[in-house]
Structure 1
Amino acid sequence: MTSSPTPFPTVRRERTLSAPPAAVYRAWLDPEVLQRWLAPGALELARAEVDERVGGRFRIWQTHSDTPVGGFEAELLELVPNERIAFRWGFVGPDRDAGPRFDSLLTVTLRPVPEGTRLVIVHERLDALAAAMPDAAQQIGGGWDSVLDRLAVAVKA
């Protein structure tokens, strides 16, 4: 009897941010704002490109002490202004074109609340990354915690 591998858990994070949904939505799509927050821990965001349309590319280059470490090659699957963004989120290494790519699904949902915006991110379909790089997969939740802390500062009203 063979058993199928257990799917890697979905990562879900929720935050209330003291900024309106329009500001939080823009923070996910404006390259200048992305550079202030979309790099966890000691990483820095060296470059961001966003083709803001369904089917458009979303590309992130991250560095550590000026050394390229990889980033993300994503496709925008859904854009509902000030409410929802869905990405085909691809993890890539420093050799973006020749290295492996680990595709996943990232959904960002925004809802107005009296304090500002309730942000919910759901990151799923992480099985391929978890199978190839289990240590990296285990850090996804902590990575999102780190960047969401930075996002809260970047959009603070």
Structure 2
Amino acid sequence: MPNDSITPDLDVTRVMPASPDQIWSAWIDPTAIARWWGPDGFTSTVRELDVREGGRFDVVMQGPDGSTFENLYLFDTVEAGMRVTYVHQGAPEHGLAPSRSVVTIEEVDAGKRTSVTLRSFYASESDRKKHLVVFQAAAGAQQLLERLEQVAVGGTG
């Protein structure tokens, strides 16, 4: 499994007009995360959300064309309001091995804005290409952070 001491394969940051508490609330509320998890045009059904070390995030994403993507994430590290690391368990049906992601939440401007960074580390060059080229993960991550901002600023629930 790749670790986060190496250069990430995906590195996306967005500064949002929301407090770290607003961002964190959008992360830990199943109703809220369902509204922002995934790229534009996708909907998400949260089957389980347990944001703690050893916890799980089990979600089914549905694409605009109706195709479904089951995703299971296991949380490694959770520092409430500051940092989350998780392992996506992969997608054998798409030939994807497990991958690791690190999300950091950092206060900017005395809490008036927050920088959120998503970094992902893929298991191999083949996985990297599938994520970044075939599944357009960089654009999807940018859209995910834009959607997170909308939910965090607009309130959760």
Under TM normalisation by the shorter chain, which class is it?
Answer: 0.7 to 0.9
- Deviation of 1:74 after TM superposition, in Å, equals 0.8
Are residues 33 and 50 of structure 1, via their aligned partners in 2, closer, same or farther at CA, if it must alter by over 3 Å? Answer: same
Structure 1 stretches of 5 or more lacking a match?
1-7
Are residues 30 and 131 of structure 1, via their aligned partners in 2, closer, same or farther at CA, if it must alter by over 3 Å? Answer: same
> Does the 8 A contact of 1:50 with 1:59 survive in 2?
yes
Question: C-alpha separation between the residues in 2 aligned to 1:119 and 1:65?
Answer: 26
In terms of fraction of residues, the more helix-rich structure is 2
Identify the match of residue 118 of structure 2 among 111, 117, 121.
Answer: 121
Question: C-alpha separation between the residues in 2 aligned to 1:55 and 1:37?
Answer: 23
Question: C-alpha separation between the residues in 2 aligned to 1:134 and 1:142?
Answer: 9
User: In structure 2, what residue type is equivalent to 1:129?
Assistant: D
Equivalent residue for 2:61?
62
User: In structure 2, what residue type is equivalent to 1:82?
Assistant: G
Superposed CA deviations along residues 36-95 of structure 1, whole A, max 9, x for unmatched, are 1112122211334212221111111011358342142110000101110000123437x7
Equivalent residue for 2:143?
146
Query: Which residues of 2 match residues 42-57 of structure 1 at below 5 A?
Result: 42-57=41-56
Q: What TM-score do you get using the length of structure 2 for normalisation?
A: 0.78
User: In structure 1, what residue type is equivalent to 2:55?
Assistant: G
Identify the match of residue 102 of structure 1 among 90, 97, 100.
Answer: 97
- Deviation of 1:133 after TM superposition, in Å, equals 6.8
Equivalent residue for 1:75?
74
Equivalent residue for 2:134?
136
> Does the 8 A contact of 1:73 with 1:92 survive in 2?
no
Moved more, 103-112 or 121-130: 121-130
> Does the 8 A contact of 2:87 with 2:100 survive in 1?
yes
Question: C-alpha separation between the residues in 1 aligned to 2:132 and 2:148?
Answer: 26
Are residues 77 and 117 of structure 1, via their aligned partners in 2, closer, same or farther at CA, if it must alter by over 3 Å? Answer: same
Equivalent residue for 1:85?
84
> Does the 8 A contact of 2:83 with 2:104 survive in 1?
yes
Question: C-alpha separation between the residues in 2 aligned to 1:28 and 1:9?
Answer: 22
Name the count of aligned residue pairs: 145
User: In structure 1, what residue type is equivalent to 2:143?
Assistant: S
Question: C-alpha separation between the residues in 1 aligned to 2:114 and 2:44?
Answer: 24
Structure 2 stretches of 5 or more lacking a match?
1-6
Give the superposed CA RMSD.
2.6
> Does the 8 A contact of 2:8 with 2:119 survive in 1?
no
- If asked which structure has higher relative contact order (CA below 8 Å, sep 6+), I would say 2
